[in-house]
Amino acid sequence: MLTCLAIDDEPMALDVLRDYARMTPHLQLINTFDDGLKALAYLQTNKFDLLFLDINMPDLSGIQILKALRHPPMVIFTTAYSEYAVKSYELDAVDYLLKPIEFDRFLKAVNKAIELVQAKGPVSLPAAPAPAKEFLFLKSGHQMVKVLLGDILYIESDKNYSTFVLPHQKILSLMPLTEVQALLPAGQFFRIHKSYIVGLQHLQVIERHQVMVHGYSLPVGKVYGEAFFRLLNQGV
């Protein structure tokens, strides 16, 4: 299992990397940062295998971060600017991903990293999976409410809150959508928009820019759409 970290000043870019990591075997995303200075402090005291690193960031660029590390991990650069490609290879990067990042290109880069590790020794396979999670306890007001995962139609972001929409009720929880996403099993839920996560089993109608879930029409965001439709084409 490769452990990895992602640094990017664009929240939506981090969301895409989170989704791609969840869909990729033998890859565990352990943390993300949208601030280069905070990320550097973490990098200097924590160990992991692979770093997804945006190049063009305010305050501290990805290249500056990498040069500041005494023992840098393997790095895959991510950027919207193709002119950085040569520089990334001069810094011995595993690969260079141009935004918007396609999932198959992401997989190719991760496989390069795995091959580098295997050249030194085999990548350890994950242990036998734990029993599938069937429910969550959500903090709602002064209560902890038990919610069956199979009952969740979709989850909607409301600033620092998230609304869990069930067939016969809605539950408002003091938890941002990014934290909610980390708790959900990837095979059952998918983030289709910066404000929405859907229960895949409840999808009724799928169009290019929206889906129907139990009679609700939800938008499919441009940033998330590619990974979402690729997942559907894989038969999930």
Angle at 206 between CA 171 and CA 182, to 5 degrees: 45
Question: Residues 6 or more apart from 193 whose CB is under 8 A from it?
Answer: 218, 219, 220, 221, 224
User: What pTM value is reported for the model?
Assistant: 0.56
Length of the chain (residues): 236
Buried b (16+ CB within 10 A) or exposed e, 1-40: ebebbbbbbeeebbbbbbbbbbbbeebebeebbbebeebb
Q: What is the mean pLDDT of residues 67-90?
A: 78
Q: What is the per-residue pLDDT for 128?
A: 44
Q: What is the mean pLDDT of residues 72-98?
A: 79
User: pLDDT-based confidence at 132, cuts 50/70/90?
Assistant: low
pLDDT higher than threshold 90 for residue 179: no
Q: Domains plus CATH for the chain?
A: 2-120 (3.40.50.2300), 135-233 (2.40.50.1020)
Contact 121, 137 (CB under 8 A): no
pLDDT higher than threshold 80 for residue 122: no
Question: Residues 6 or more apart from 89 whose CB is under 8 A from it?
Answer: 96
Helix (H, G, I), strand (E, B), or coil: what is residue 91? coil
| Complete edge-to-edge strand list for the sheet that includes strand 161-165 | 170-173, 161-165, 154-158, 196-199, 189-193
User: pLDDT-based confidence at 235, cuts 50/70/90?
Assistant: low
pLDDT higher than threshold 70 for residue 113: yes
pLDDT higher than threshold 80 for residue 94: yes
Mean predicted lDDT score pLDDT of the chain: 86
Least confident stretch, 76-90, 107-121, 133-147 = 76-90
Euclidean distance between CA atoms 80 and 150, whole angstroms: 38
pLDDT higher than threshold 60 for residue 112: yes
Computed from CA positions of residues 152, 157, 158, 159, in that sequence, does the dihedral angle turn out positive or negative? positive
Percent of the chain clearing pLDDT 70 (strictly above): 89
Higher pLDDT, 159 or 10: 10
pLDDT higher than threshold 90 for residue 80: no
Higher pLDDT, 59 or 148: 148
The 10s digit of each residue's pLDDT in 1-43 is: 889 999 999 999 999 999 898 888 788 999 999 999 999 999 9
